[in-house]
Amino acid sequence: MKLILLGAPGSGKGTQAAYITDKYDLPHISTGDLFRENIKNKTPLGIKVKEIMDTGNLCPDDLTVELVKDRLNNPDCKNGYLLDGFPRDIPQAIALDEFAAPDVVIEIDVDLNKIEHRITGRRSCPKCGGSFHVDFIGNVDKCPTCGDKLIIRKDDNPETVKERLEVYQNQTAPLIEYYGKQGKLVKVNGDQPIEKVFEEVVKVLG
């Protein structure tokens, strides 16, 4: 199964991805996580994209497409993949259609007015990729899943969230129509408890 999770920043892509990869045994490929890893390791790619990510803009399409192409060549992707945060604009979607077109695109639909609260209260685990909210875990600094130190992402502040939402509306939201026309888009309601969202996802994936 080749699956894409599409949705605004903070819509719950990473959260649902953890449940999906567990149940369906698919590799979770988050372009945001891949870029953050490169930044952490100070690779040439990481150095190129750091400032762009910190301001909430999109990294260049050519670099992003190459990154995904490379990752999808890994043997663990031979039976399918779960893409989280890619494609992010029409040129990326066209490129993906040329080398690994998806079967299903799940759009996590959320009220954009709730995004700032979700993102500014998020705590992330760089080690296991976990994503949590202080509303649920309290103000702790240890990852509830792996025990590593939780961090606040550099782009999780109110100013950058505003920019990320604008980028989403202008560049990413057109993918809803793109995949709708291909008959691949299924919308789930992301404004309900995490487990309920996952129940809807399971209904789609079977």
The binder of ligand AP5 chosen from 1, 90, 173, 194 (CB under 6 A): 194
Sole residue written with tokens 């509303």: 135
Angle at 6 between CA 4 and CA 12, to 5 degrees: 110
| Token reading at 151 | 């961090």
Residue linked to tokens 């079967």: 103
Binds ligand AP5 by CB under 6 A, chosen from 9, 102, 129, 130: 9
Q: Is 197 in the site for ligand AP5 (CB under 6 A)?
A: yes
Q: Which of 3, 20, 28, 131 binds ligand AP5 (CB under 6 A)?
A: 131
User: For residue 149, what are the β-bridge partners?
Assistant: 142
Mark the segment that binds ligand AP5 (CB under 6 A) among 38-46, 131-139, 142-150, 173-181: 131-139
> Which residues have a catalytic role annotated?
13, 88, 122, 153, 164
Would you give the end-to-end CA distance of the chain in angstroms? 11
**What tokens were used for 169?**
């509306």
Helix, strand, coil: what percent of the chain each, to 5? 50, 15, 30
Q: Which stretch binds ligand AP5 (CB under 6 A): 24-32, 69-77, 142-150, 180-188?
A: 24-32
String marking each residue 99-118 x if it binds ligand AP5 according to CB under 6 A: -------------------x
In the complex, the smallest distance separating the C-beta of residue 122 from ligand AP5, rounded to whole angstroms, is: 3
Nearer to ligand AP5 by C-beta: 1 or 120?
Answer: 120
Smallest Cα–Cα separation from 144: which of 5, 11, 15?
15
Task: Return the residue of 133, 144, 148, 186 that touches ligand AP5, per CB under 6 A.
Answer: 133
Question: Does a cis peptide bond (omega within 30 degrees of 0) precede residue 126?
Answer: no
Q: Is the separation of the CB atoms in 133 and 123 below 8 Å?
A: yes
| Side chain identity at residue 170, one-letter code | N
- List the one residue from 7, 12, 14, 130 that touches Mg ion (CB under 5 A): 14
Contacts with ligand AP5, 141-170, as mask; x by CB under 6 A = --------------x--------x------
